[in-house]
Each structure stands twice: as C-alpha cells, then as structure tokens.
Amino acid sequence: MKEDLLTRTIIGLAIDVHTALGPGLLENAYKECLFYKIDQAGFQVEKEKIMPLVFEDVKLDCGYRIDILVENKLVLELKSIEALSDVHLAQTLTYMKLGGYRFGLLMNFNVLRLKDGIRRIVNGY
C-alpha cells in the first residue's frame, strides 16, 4: 500500500477512536484502542516496538519504544497532552531515524477535533 493511502487510512481509524472516546483519557487508552482498530483492519502492526540505540557497533536498549508501527513503515507517536511541542516532534524523528523509517504521524488525542492534533512527518534522509 502506498504511504499516502496508508497514512490517510490510519488517520481515519484514529479519528474513529477519538470520536468514540473523546479527549481527556490517558495516552495508553488511545494506544490500545488504535492498535486494536489497525489490527482489525488487517494491517501488520506492532505496539511498543523496542528501538535500540547503536553506539560503536553495539546495540543498547535505552528504553526507546515506538508507540505503534504500521506495516513496518509508518511510525505512530501518540500523546494526550495540552499541546504538541518541538520536543515531541524531535522524539518522533529520533524513532524514525533509529529505525530507518521515512514516515510518521505525531498525534495528540487531547484535542476537540483530532485533525487539529495530527502532524504528518516525512524524513527525507
């Protein structure tokens, strides 16, 4: 599936979750529900994917985990906070860089309309 179509489909599923639950819950609630919806839609999906840091040819587990990885190409970083900041963007970009992924979605579920809490990210390295 093309990345643009995949991204739009996942955003649609996230909007379904947000419509059903509304804002104000913990991040983990949205993560579990979105993971379920993506899995039910037939996509290959991983939750809490460990991302080791490679330093001097040694893989180190520093606690980095991608919230959700879809089709081994789309990184989903989920938040339920007052507002997204540059730190959250940097976190998502770090996960994308560590895993060699080009596409990501940074989503804040603590908004009235989910589309106002989504940032699409394309890493051009």
pTM as predicted: 0.93
Q: Alpha-carbon distance 51 to 63, whole Å?
A: 8
Rg (CA), the chain: 14
Chain-centroid distance, C-alpha 81: 15
- Asked whether residue 10 carries a pLDDT value surpassing 60, the answer given is yes
- Asked whether residue 124 carries a pLDDT value surpassing 70, the answer given is no
Q: Which of the given ranges, 60-64, 97-101, 121-125, has the highest pLDDT on average? A: 97-101
Taking residues 65-75, what's their average pLDDT?
97
CATH number of the domain at 3-122, please?
3.40.1350
pLDDT of residue 1: 65
Tokens 């804002």: give the residue: 23
Tokens 């991983």: give the residue: 46
- Asked whether residue 110 carries a pLDDT value surpassing 70, the answer given is yes
Taking residues 50-57, what's their average pLDDT?
84
Give the number of other CB atoms < 10 A from CB of residue 76.
24
Taking residues 90-109, what's their average pLDDT?
95
Instruction: Give me the chain's average pLDDT, please.
Output: 94
Q: Alpha-carbon distance 29 to 6, whole Å?
A: 22
- Asked whether residue 119 carries a pLDDT value surpassing 80, the answer given is yes
- N-to-C CA span, the chain: 21
- β-strands 74-79, 103-108: how paired? parallel
